[in-house]
Amino acid sequence: MNTSNIPRSVENGIESIRKGELVLIYDAEDREGETDFVLPASSVTPRKVAYFRNEAGGLICIAIHPVAAEKLGLPLMSDILRNVNDTYSSLRRLVEEKGDLSYDKRSSFSLWVNHRATFTGITDRDRALTITKIGEAVERVLNGNDNSYDFYTEFRTPGHVSLLRAADRLLDERRGQTELSVALAVLAEIAPAMVICEMLDAESGGALSKAKAKAFASEHDVVFMEGKEIVEAFHARFLP
């Protein structure tokens, strides 16, 4: 890697997530304009799930590399709905259309799952179990030669953990929090299964401002990165 072209913030972020530590990623002013908590799935514990919901407050999701998603048989939810049978054909009308999302062309949502060993699936303990097992599944299908693993025997849906499928060409196709967090994992050479959660502001009722997110990062000694910095680092690593 040509580290001379990589922003210092991203170098620090790579070091943090290799240690299993929390980092913050701000996407862009012309996108959602949101900062997300980001943590490797392998580092999640019930206490960290509680921290995400109390301190960030958004939706706790797990972003997965597209190759892993394909191997696990995880399609986009929009594709599932486009292909429902005629009995439920009206569901096709729910799929996002051009112009529905002001910040992007499409969302990354796949299935919502629980691990089969969970009870309700919503508790911090249950969600931590589901998340860590998803991380293990991603690592297994990407790093091993075992093609016999069956995701559907270990997980069930509906569930309480939202799976996000990153775009096939990652940052060359889409630059949402899904792709940014997965790209960071690729840079860090860890399993590309990353837990993300939006930082919300109870006072304004909207997303936490960039200034407040940076102040949080400073106060809690957490690395803060901008999406454009991750894009720069990713291209420095993978483009000629």
Catalytic-residue membership of 197: no
Check if 235 is active-site.
no
Residue 24 CA to its chain's centroid (Å):
12
Alpha carbon distance 112, 226 (integer Å): 28
**Distance between CA atoms of residues 231 and 1, nearest Å:** 14
Exactly one of 32, 126, 198, 226 is catalytic; name it. 198
Which of 104, 160, 172, 232 does the annotation list as catalytic?
160
Give the integer Cα–Cα distance in Å for 196 and 157. Answer: 20
CA–CA gap between residue 75 and residue 82 (Å, rounded): 11
Catalytic one among 5, 15, 103, 150? 103
Residue of 61, 65, 124, 197 marked catalytic: 61
61 a catalytic residue: yes
Say if residues 208 and 201 touch (Cβ distance below 8 Å): yes
Indicate the angle between helix axes 227-238 and 8-18, nearest 10 degrees.
90
Q: Which of 34, 114, 126, 179 is catalytic?
A: 114
Q: Is 30 a catalytic residue?
A: no
Please tell me which residue in 27, 32, 34, 36 is annotated as part of the active site: 36
Active site residues: 36, 61, 103, 114, 160, 198
